[in-house]
Homo-oligomer: A and B are copies of this chain.
Amino acid sequence: MSIPPIKPALMDYLPYIHVVLCRPSHPANIGSAARAMKTMGLTQMTIVAPQLIATPMTPQPPVFQENQPFRLPEESFVLSSGAKDVLENARIVDTLKEALSDTVISCALTSRRREISVNPQTPRQLAPEILQMAHQKNHVALIFGNERFGLSIDEVMQCNRLMTINGNPDYFSLNLAQAVQVVSYEIFSHIDMPMTHLIQSHNPVPHVEIDGLIGHFAQIMQEVGFFERRNQERLMRRLSLLFERAGIEREEIDIMRGFLKTVGKRLEK
């Protein structure tokens, strides 16, 4: 008598890992990405402001409008090949900011050189941290750009990790679904590994708290007249990046905000 194999249940923390597609343009790619994710146990897709173009199968793609319901075309469902549930549950949002509001780790996928100061890491380097965070019930996002243009500088700046897939330097032509496949595969491949060697005391905060700190900084900087002759937007982006990169923790945010509050009070006198 042979014992039937026990089918392992998928880890219940995998839904904390989100695949975010920014401004995707091909209905088929959205479906293929859903399929790629699901083969590796990932089910949470967020689509930011889709910009669908016409294809032979979808000659009149739906137009996305802010605050309006949006339904993916049939082509996406056909290409998802059994991962329809991923598409049906996909969140469709107006901005990347909205997609990332609850996330602690946000990995921007990019293959291009950029004027940014976050260190690029490979999926293999980042996978343990991603899994550990998800395991601790923190939301994590993998952010993929538009098929043709990738992520914009502004989109990359909203993320706190930069992920790059290494490949042939003479021909690097991974399409969207292939990139999603590689990253999802890499994450899944680390699941068997014991993660006990990775427990840190690091206790990062969700994105929205960093936004709050940056807002507080901007307010006080305004009050003391710091922005005069300076590019406010650029400055604040830079500060945001600094705190994201640091993985700023609650206590540090409290220190900073306490200081800003004291400065604000003194200015009132």
Q: Which of A82-127 contact B (CB under 8 A)?
A: 82-83, 110-117, 119-120, 122, 124
CA distance A248 to B245 in the complex (A): 9
How distant is the Cα of A193 from the Cα of B168 in the complex, in angstroms? 9
Count of this chain's copies in the oligomeric assembly: 2
Q: A7-B169, A197-B112, A246-B242 are in contact. Are A178 and B226 (CB under 8 A)?
A: no
B113 A198 Cβ-Cβ under 8 A: yes
Once A171-B83, A199-B113 are accepted as A-B contacts, the answer to whether A262 and B226 lie under 8 Å apart by CB is yes
Q: In this assembly, does A62 line the interface, its C-beta being within 8 Å of a C-beta of chain B?
A: no
Cα(A263)–Cα(B217), bound, Å = 12
Contact: B181 with A166, CB < 8 Å? no
Report the interface size for chain A: residues with CB under 8 A from the other chain.
81
Q: Is A202 an interface residue (CB 8 A)?
A: yes
The complex places the Cα of A75 from the Cα of B38 at a distance, in Å, of: 27
Would you list 23 pairs from A and B whose C-beta atoms are within 8 A, ordered by A residue? A10-B170, A35-B173, A111-B197, A113-B197, A113-B199, A117-B201, A117-B202, A117-B249, A120-B195, A164-B198, A166-B188, A167-B188, A168-B188, A169-B196, A172-B197, A174-B181, A178-B178, A178-B181, A182-B185, A224-B259, A238-B255, A239-B255, A243-B246
